[in-house]
Structure 1
């Protein structure tokens, strides 16, 4: 049986949890890289200025806030930005954060 990670339903995502997750610059870096890259990026694809255990924490915070989905593929965890869900719930929020971070607009691939 494959390992599963829990994700909040789109309608359960709160503004407070999203803003708290995006308040950290490392997590904004992850979101920005996901927005300008392709879907399903492995955790190891991110060049973050923190230890592996700390980066795992940041990915978990983003997942629990409803900003990303994570799924196992073999031993890798693949990450995808939940741009459609977040934009439907909080129109313009994620797009504005990404634009402010210098990434332009989110990718349409995800």
Structure 2
């Protein structure tokens, strides 16, 4: 979909955090996989990644917790958008746009 193709025009970590909050993790899947992935596993690893990039160290899971989360032993809730990325979201809502460029 068009919303899945926005990533090449927007700062990817910001876009990924927003898609995670919206529950639209299939958009984060490498397009070369052509949608061939377990949606629950994809959602789980994206939520884990979101917790691993939290601003405060105490908010991040330990490696042992990450392993248990990956194995499905521990549940993983949707993480909050990290403060730095939230600032970018707020700026974007105010009209600023962050573009992704390649060299």
One fold, TM greater than 0.5? no
Higher helix share: 2
> Where is the strand percentage greater, Structure 1 or Structure 2?
1
User: Could you tell me the TM-score, scaled by structure 2's length?
Assistant: 0.34
* Structure having the higher Rg: 2
